Amino acid sequence: MEISEILVVDKNASSRTRLQKIVLDLGGKRHKIHSCGSLEEATAILNSKSISLVLSDYFITGGSGFDLFKMIRAQQPDNKSLCLVLVTSNISQTAVAKAAEEDVDSFVIKPFTIQSIHENLLTTVVSKIQPSEYMQKIDSGKELINKGSLEEAMTVLKEAIPLHPQPALALFYIGQIEIMQKFLSKAQGSFQQGLTFNTIHYKCLVGLYDLFMRQRKYKEAYEVVKKVSNYFPANPDRLTQVVRLAIQTENYRDMQSFYDVFTTLDERTPVLVNYIGAGLFVAGKFLMNNKEEKLALQFFENLAISCSEYTKFLRAIVVLLTEKGKAREAEKFLSRFPVLEKSGEDYLVCDFLIVAGMAYDSGATIRRGLELYNKNIRNESCLAALIKEMERAGHKKEKIEKYRSELEELKNPSGKKAA
């Protein structure tokens, strides 16, 4: 095996060792074979070694082999000798490997043998040395695009179409040229035509998604990115995109499936956690308003479990539930506050609203409300609850007027009276 440096990536140690042994048996040099189990470790090795072959399992710690290969392609776009082989274990993963096309040179299906890997590597290396006429046309078209020779590139790419039974990649690059030429409808047609050959072709899906976002066709963009999310391994950036669009297009009932994906991620960025939290809250509010209380409370519970460090979400849940007359349900979420946050404004507001919602003792409720007020905590729901209790306790109107004026200012900060 005349390859300088080899990287084996698999989070399962025994599977990783087996792959290394097969590479050794095929002629690899022990000191030139590197291995690791995570995306982070693989990135570090790639930055320090001259790797020519990467064998990666579909799922690795911190991401996927698919994510790793996309990153490598982005960093080394002109490295035509680099071989990236994805190790898959089922039909779904194999379909993703095929649909990734340029990002994945080949794939090996588990359980693998020395013979299956040997045959795979031979085929992959040969295709690198002697690319098909179709791939030669694709490479030529890409070079012409980079030079700005768009019409010439278009001619070459159209010549590539009859050379392959599923020319989705050629159609993707034709769509890219059409976008550069500002023929957006034609570009959409090219991407969609590519998807008729492979319904989950990664580049055509991403091209179509970017096009719809550019045109502000958010519902169409959501359907595309949802499909990408369903078929391709999840990562924080993609999940953030799909959750943001789900909220924007009011596809609230899809939030549970996105939350399920969220819980499987090794890495959860602050941006993603915020979007998941917002999505679960908005979806729960929608369900609550549609009399689906049990499901709404499940969404709120998921939110409280996974995003409790963001106390703004716990506060939003309690405010909503107390407004709906469900103080007892709201009380359960007080226990989700981190210990160090129990002296903060969000907790104090929630605690007061729950006490007010229980309506046990007007005097005690009013005292708690005034304590918040004297701490300079101004909140519409709290002031409204305080005013209600003061009225119920028979306080004079002139005494209440001060708080009523402040409530109106909070509702209308510009000073304009509501129509």
Does one domain contain both 222 and 282?
no
β-partners of residue 61 are 38
The pLDDT assigned to 251 comes to: 95
Q: Is the pLDDT of residue 2 over 80?
A: no
Cβ neighbours of residue 343 closer than 8 Å, sequence gap 6 or more: none
Give residue-wise pLDDT tens across range 186-232.
Answer: 999 999 999 999 999 999 999 999 999 999 999 999 999 999 999 99
Handedness of CA 95, 100, 106, 109 (dihedral sign): negative
| Residue after which a domain boundary falls, among 130, 145, 163 | 130
For residues 166 and 279, membership in a common domain is answered with no
Confidence of residue 1 (pLDDT cuts 50, 70, 90): very low
Domain contains 224: yes
CA 308 to each of CA 139, 197, 258, 392: distance values in angstroms, whole numbers, following the listed order: 50, 45, 18, 35
Number of structural domains the chain divides into: 4
88 shares a domain with 78:
yes
Of the candidates 130, 165, 181, which is a domain's last residue? 130
pLDDT, position 224: 97
CB-CB contact of 73 with 103 (8 Å): yes
Q: Quick one: 251 and 166 in the same domain?
A: no
- 174 and 190 in a single domain? The answer is yes
DSSP H/E element including 7: strand 6-9
415 has a pLDDT exceeding 70: no
First to last CA, the chain: 79
Q: Is residue 183 scored above 80 in pLDDT?
A: yes
Residues 258 and 229 grouped into a single domain: no
Q: Note whether 56 and 153 are same-domain residues.
A: no
> Is 320 contained in some domain?
yes
Q: In angstroms, what CA-CA distances link 155 with 173, 194, 331?
A: 11, 17, 67
Which CATH number belongs to the domain containing residue 149 in this structure?
A: 1.25.40.10
Nearest by Cα to 69 from 1, 124, 7, 122 = 7
Residues 372 and 359: beta-carbon distance below 8 Å: no
Please determine, for residue 419, whether its predicted confidence score (pLDDT) is greater than 50.
no
Query: CATH number of the domain that 75 lies in?
Result: 3.40.50.2300
pLDDT in tens, 313-341: 999 999 999 999 999 999 999 999 999 89
Query: Are 153 and 255 members of one domain?
Result: no
pTM: 0.84
The model's pLDDT over 248-291, given as tens digits with 9 standing for 90+, comes to: 999 999 999 999 999 999 888 999 999 999 999 999 999 999 99
Q: How confident is the model at residue 27 (pLDDT cuts 50, 70, 90)?
A: confident
- State which residues form the domain around 159: 131-233
Please report whether residue 356 resides in a domain: yes
Express as a percent the part of the chain with pLDDT over 90: 67
Q: What is the mean pLDDT of residues 113-135?
A: 89
Whether 176 and 91 share a structural domain: no
> Do 293 and 333 sit in the same domain of this protein?
no
Q: Mean of the per-residue pLDDT values for the chain?
A: 92
Domain-ending residue, one of 130, 149, 175: 130
Residue 372 falls inside a structural domain? yes
pLDDT higher than threshold 80 for residue 365: yes
Orientation angle between helical segments 311-323 and 293-306, nearest 10 degrees: 160
Quick one: 69 and 13 in the same domain? yes
Whether 114 shows a pLDDT value over 50: the answer reads: yes
